[in-house]
């Protein structure tokens, strides 16, 4: 079964079409990167798949559950790390993790065990009792992602997870995402081509609300006769895709 099946989804805001008749299937355990310039429709697509927006047309299924008619079921299967850091500022690292565990229905013991595990796994030991608002941007972002991971989602949406992070923090996060590969389905949006090339099984490129092409990094480079995903992306964005 596909982890995600998108069937001709269209999302409009007034007269502006943000996602246009988009169809796509993503396999279980796959790490799928969604590339596109600002305003291409990546975040709108993520928001539609996470039940934050309702599509105007079309349908999408997460592990067979409809995002439009079975949103409550879908929400139990997924988690999301938004583009902006989404933490409770006056709560400590530990409290933020415990809160999310509780919201996803874990009992106190399970929530505590999972929180301990996340604190160890993501090296939060020195900061666990520090309030989120006092953490650096990098650590806040890491906490935001930890809050998405603690629920062990079947499908994880990472919307520009490394935005604004320094190179070391970004590399550390890549390692974390790499370790998750195969354990859950991950949909990642990013502006960092190196990130997409290094982490993803397949890449989809969105231009002006449309999904232009999908393929492995090698396939994209081959299609565009380029030597890196960045060059391939630039060529696709410039309309120079060779679909032969």
Partner 1 sequence: MRIKAFASRNIKELIRDPLSYIFCLGFPLIMLLVMSVIGQSIPENEGTAIFNVQNQSAGTAVFGLAFVMLFAALLISKDRASALLCRLFASPMRSVDFILGYTLPLIIIAAAQLAVNVISSVIIGAAVGESFNFLNLLMSLAVHIPTIFLFIGLGIIFGTLFNEKSSPGISSIIVSLAPMLGGVWMPIDAMGGVILTIAKIFPFYHAVKASRTVLAGSSEGVAASILILCAWAAVIFILSIFVFKAKMRSEKK
* Residue from 4, 22, 45, 75 in contact with partner 1 (CB under 8 A): 75
Written as six digits, the tokens of 237 are 């964005």
Burial of 128 (0-12, 13-18, 19+ CB in 10 A): middle
53 lies in the binding site for partner 1 (CB under 8 A)? yes
Smallest separation (angstroms) from partner 1 to the CB of 117: 18
DSSP letter at 228 equals S
Residue showing tokens 């246009």: 20
109 lies in the binding site for partner 1 (CB under 8 A)? no
Other Cβ atoms within 10 Å of 105 Cβ, number: 10
63 lies in the binding site for partner 1 (CB under 8 A)? no
Written as six digits, the tokens of 134 are 């006092």
Size of the site for partner 1 (CB under 8 A): 37
Alpha helices in 62-163 (DSSP H): 71-77, 93-103, 108-121, 137-149
Residue closer to partner 1 by CB (options 106, 220) is: 106
* Residue from 50, 185, 189, 190 in contact with partner 1 (CB under 8 A): 50
* Residue from 76, 171, 191, 223 in contact with partner 1 (CB under 8 A): 76
Written as six digits, the tokens of 128 are 């666990």
Which parts of this chain interact with partner 1 (CB under 8 A)?
Answer: 50-54, 72, 75-76, 78-91, 95, 98-107, 131, 144, 147-148
């Amino acid at each position: 079964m596909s982890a995600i099946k998108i069937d001709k989804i269209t999302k409009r805001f007034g007269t502006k079409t943000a996602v246009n008749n988009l169809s796509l299937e993503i396999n279980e355990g796959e790490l799928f990167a969604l590339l596109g310039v600002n305003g291409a429709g990546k975040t709108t697509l993520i928001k539609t798949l996470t039940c934050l927006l309702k599509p105007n047309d079309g349908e999408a299924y997460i592990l067979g559950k409809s995002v439009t008619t079975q949103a409550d079921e879908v929400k139990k299967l997924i988690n999301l790390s938004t583009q902006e850091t989404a933490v409770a500022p006056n709560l400590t690292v530990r409290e933020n993790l415990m809160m999310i565990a509780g919201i996803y229905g874990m009992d106190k013991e399970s929530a505590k065990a999972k929180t301990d595990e996340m604190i160890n796994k993501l090296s939060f030991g020195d900061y666990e009792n520090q309030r989120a608002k006092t953490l650096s941007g990098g650590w806040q972002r890491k906490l935001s992602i930890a809050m998405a991971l603690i629920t062990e989602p079947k499908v994880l949406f990472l919307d520009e997870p490394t935005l604004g992070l320094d190179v070391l923090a970004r590399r550390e996060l890549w390692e974390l995402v790499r370790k998750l590969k195969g354990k859950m389905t991950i949909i990642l949006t990013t502006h960092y081509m190196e990130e997409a090339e290094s982490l993803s099984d397949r890449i989809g490129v969105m231009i002006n609300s449309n999904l232009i092409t999908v393929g492995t990094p090698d396939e994209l480079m081959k299609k565009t006769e380029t030597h890196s995903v960045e060059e391939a992306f630039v060529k696709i964005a410039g309309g120079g895709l060779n679909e032969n």
